[in-house]
Structure 1
Amino acid sequence: MVERSDTPAPEQKIEGPAFGVDDRDALIGGFAAAGGYFFWGLTVIFYKQLTHVLPYEVLAHRTIWSVVLTLALILVFGRWKSLVAALTNTRILLTLFATSLIIGSNWFVFIYSINESRVLETSLGYYINPLISVLIGVVVLSEKLTRAQIAAVALAAAGVGVITFEIGTLPWISLFLAVTFAIYGYLRKVSRVDPLEGLLIEVLMLSPFALAYLWIAEGEGGTAIMHGDLWTLFLLALTGPMTTIPLFLFNYGAQRIRLATLGLMQYFAPSIQLLIAVTMYGEQLTDTHLMTFGLIWAGLALFSWDTWRKEKELRRVAKAV
């Protein structure tokens, strides 16, 4: 946690994050977390190369290759004991079964939206996500919102209302991605299982469905892995690293930097997706989109300011004590 007085001086001492690591470790953690978010933003380009493969098949390969890579990482880092501990805990297994279904559906809709050239809706969903997480805190944990948070959620709701009125239907892709990822994040947090072990268990739980789909699809007309070109096979194999690497970077960084800093970084990915959608894939950024994004950005700015203000107050109180 960064500590500072109300009137910072050039020579003030920065003590690093609350986790007790030094400034150098915090800097490396910051780069790692930022790298994870940038990686997530750029995955749009990667999955765009697989639009000739059915989304279900891409999801199946993403699941299977994630099993392969996470197993390898568990072996390399010697994490078998914590994996066994998670596998023998019924509560953790039930929670991870739920999160596996949630993240699997989230992955599918993400892949589908890219296949259908609806990257703008994907970007919108991940902008909304932090505010959905706030609402989960209210509904599930009975947390009370500050006035700034209420205003932020209201602005986001207004943004969704604008685009809903214009297109005549809810932006279901955006809302689905935002809601599922927020629920997933909450459940993973309360599960108290390490990220790598948790991901491995999740993809292991999804893998029977993935293998069954590939087996049935092959019997009904063929799959890309059996009949595709080498480049397609290579890309399908890369879905594992494309899933695991940003998660590893994110979790490495999250343990070493302040929560407020991490909160601001989460907007990197949807911002990159927005730029890619407009500049590379020619998706139309209409006046309605601009109004919708503008309202949501205003809400996020207010939300970020409120988070920073509360953390500054906590640091001031902690320093006084």
Structure 2
Amino acid sequence: MQSRRAGNALAAFSFVLWGFLPLYYQFLPQADTNELLAFRILFSVPFMLIVMRVLRRSLPSLAILLSDKRSLIMSGVAGLVSCISWYAFTWALTHGQVLAASLGFFINPLFAITLGVLFLGERLSKAQQIAVILAIVGIAYQVWHYGELPWLALIMGSFFALYGLCKKFIRYDALTSVTLEAAILAPFAFGYLLWQSIHTNSVALSSDTQTLLLYIGSAPVTLGPLIFFALAINRTSLTMVGLMQYIEPSMHFFLAVFLFGEVFDQVKAISFSFIWFGLLLCTLEALPNILGRKSRDAQQSSI
């Protein structure tokens, strides 16, 4: 019981940290997203190694890693997929599109549900079917009025769901997997930054110390919540985690509208409402299972 409470607290804390990320990126308006991505990848490796040392964990030997080639390859694929989602997310936060980031993570669970059906043989419940249809209607409403797809939100939501799907095929523990994802891509990130510094004017390296530190800091501020999430995942239910993940886009939404002054017009209000209603149906459907599980845990702990 105590372990489950700790897991719930860790999961909630991780999503709150992710929710505050737009505040960090307000210090990097119009950032060079390519360079920011490269810094994030490169400095993720030493950061993760420090974290593993603090938690008294160590990377498996090279022989053990190579013995599971599928997990090694999928770690590289997961890293690439994550970069695409993170690239769109970072561009949104540094170019006044926090509402797009919010929409992306609101629709992410619906993409995850769809991928589960297509690749994992899962079945949609009635509420999930309705939620997917409502999300399609909500996005179609935006397309009808604006004449274009909400590309940023769709890229973020779909590729983060693909990242979750890739993780299903990785047998390494969570911290090892995250470290490998960065380590596999680190040589490419270093090569890009080297080429950038030689052939063009590097934004981070030619700026003041504060800007350089903000570029480097993009690694710990994005990986920190991921570590808390990894620690939580084995201590609480996936259903509870699924419900808590709406903390992040909700915080993004309120920051975008009430702090950053982004336009939330009638079209977006109607579009978001379709998606929110679908998510509410999924939440109401899941609550009896969560409450029933809590009741069983309480009964077992009292015996």
Q: TM-score, normalised by structure 2?
A: 0.91
User: Contact 1:113 / 1:173 at 8 angstroms: preserved in 2?
Assistant: yes
Show the 5 A alignment for 1:98-177: 98-177=77-156
Distance 2:104 2:30 in 1: 24
**Comparing 26-35 with 308-317, which one deviates more in the overlay?**
308-317
Compute the displacement of 1:196 (Å).
1.2
Compute the displacement of 1:76 (Å).
3.2
User: Contact 2:71 / 2:169 at 8 angstroms: preserved in 1?
Assistant: no
User: Contact 1:119 / 1:274 at 8 angstroms: preserved in 2?
Assistant: yes
Compute the displacement of 1:87 (Å).
4.7
The equivalent of 1:91 in structure 2 is 70
The equivalent of 2:13 in structure 1 is 35
Q: Deviations over 1:56-111 (max 9, x none)?
A: 11111111111110122233334335364335421111111111110011111111
Q: Percent identity?
A: 31
Q: Deviations over 1:3-25 (max 9, x none)?
A: xxxxxxxxxxxxx3xxxxxx2x3
Distance 1:114 1:244 in 2: 17
The equivalent of 2:213 in structure 1 is 234
The one-letter amino acid paired with 2:60 is S
1:208 and 2:184 matched: no
Distance 1:130 1:81 in 2: 31
Secondary structure of 1:248's aligned partner? helix
Distance 1:311 1:26 in 2: 12
Q: TM-score, normalised by structure 1?
A: 0.86
User: Contact 1:149 / 1:306 at 8 angstroms: preserved in 2?
Assistant: no
The one-letter amino acid paired with 1:140 is F
Show the 5 A alignment for 1:240-279: 240-279=219-258
Structure 2: which 5+ residue stretches go unaligned?
A: none
Distance 2:101 2:5 in 1: 30
The equivalent of 2:198 in structure 1 is 219
The equivalent of 2:27 in structure 1 is 49
User: Contact 2:79 / 2:182 at 8 angstroms: preserved in 1?
Assistant: yes
**Comparing 207-216 with 96-105, which one deviates more in the overlay?**
207-216
1:73 and 2:61 matched: no
Structure 1 residues 36 and 104 mapped into 2: Cα distance closer, same or farther (>3 Å)? same
**Comparing 224-233 with 262-271, which one deviates more in the overlay?**
224-233
Structure 1 residues 192 and 313 mapped into 2: Cα distance closer, same or farther (>3 Å)? same
Distance 1:316 1:276 in 2: 36
Distance 2:162 2:143 in 1: 23
Structure 1: which 5+ residue stretches go unaligned?
A: 1-15, 17-22
